[in-house]
């Protein structure tokens, strides 16, 4: 599976929702969704928070291909950030790995005078599958 499944529209929407100007409102919506639907897990609210939810009809199958350890780490980082009193903007970048594995790199970085949480997800190289 290539990074195209998670990149593109999902990456763009995630980055818009967690941009500096939107992160507080997204965090509020996130906590409201948790109250209504229970604790967050990676991708749980994608169909509820995206303008074109019909674009994600295969989301459960696609997201299910991500190893559980990476899903758990994404859940931990995203949920902790959105539950915090001062959520930080996040930047998701999805690409292909050099091999046939998934990887996730999480780090903070500064951009335009703001601290961000960077999520760099690498998906199996499509040339090797």
Q: Which residue is listed with tokens 């690498």?
A: 122
Long-range contacts made by residues 54-62, C-beta under 8 angstroms, separation at least 24?
Answer: 55/9, 56/10, 62/1, 62/5, 62/6
Domain assignment present for 34: yes
List pLDDT tens digits, range 40-64.
988 777 767 766 655 656 666 666 6
Which of 3-17, 41-55, 56-70, 101-115 is the most confident on average?
A: 101-115
pLDDT of residue 41: 87
Would you give the end-to-end CA distance of the chain in angstroms?
7
Q: Is the pLDDT of residue 38 over 80?
A: yes
Q: How many CB atoms lie within 10 A of CB 117?
A: 20
The count of structural domains within the chain is 1
Q: How high is the pLDDT of residue 126?
A: 86
Query: Residue 84's domain spans which residues?
Result: 9-128
Query: Scanning the structure block, which residue is given the tokens 């967690």?
Result: 18
Task: Round to whole Å and give the CA distance between 107 and 115.
Answer: 10
Which of 99, 102, 103, 105 is CA-nearest to residue 118? 105
Whether 4 is in a domain gets the answer: no
On whether residue 2 sits in a domain, the answer given is no
- Mean pLDDT along residues 29-38: 93
Mean of pLDDT values over 54-80? 80
- Does a structural domain hold residue 79? yes
Question: Where is average pLDDT lowest: 23-27, 59-63, 68-72?
Answer: 59-63
Q: 3 pLDDT exceeds 70?
A: no
Domain membership flag for residue 3: no
In a domain? residue 70: yes
The separation between CA 122 and the C-alpha centre of its own chain, rounded to angstroms, equals 12
CB burial of 56-70 (b: ≥16 within 10 Å; e: otherwise) equals beebeeebeebeeeb
Does residue 1 sit within a domain?
A: no
């Amino acid at each position: 599976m290539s990074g195209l499944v998670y990149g593109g529209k999902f990456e763009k929407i995630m980055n818009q929702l967690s941009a500096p100007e939107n992160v507080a409102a997204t965090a509020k919506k996130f906590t409201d969704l948790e109250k209504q639907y229970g604790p967050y897990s990676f991708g749980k609210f994608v169909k509820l928070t995206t303008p074109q939810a019909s674009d994600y009809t295969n989301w459960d199958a696609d997201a299910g291909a991500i190893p559980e350890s990476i899903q758990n780490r994404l859940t931990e980082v995203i949920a902790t950030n959105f539950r915090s009193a001062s959520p930080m903007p996040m930047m998701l970048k999805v690409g292909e790995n050099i091999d046939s594995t998934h990887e996730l790199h999480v780090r903070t970085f500064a951009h335009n005078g703001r601290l961000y949480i960077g999520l760099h997800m690498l998906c199996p190289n499509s040339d090797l599958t």
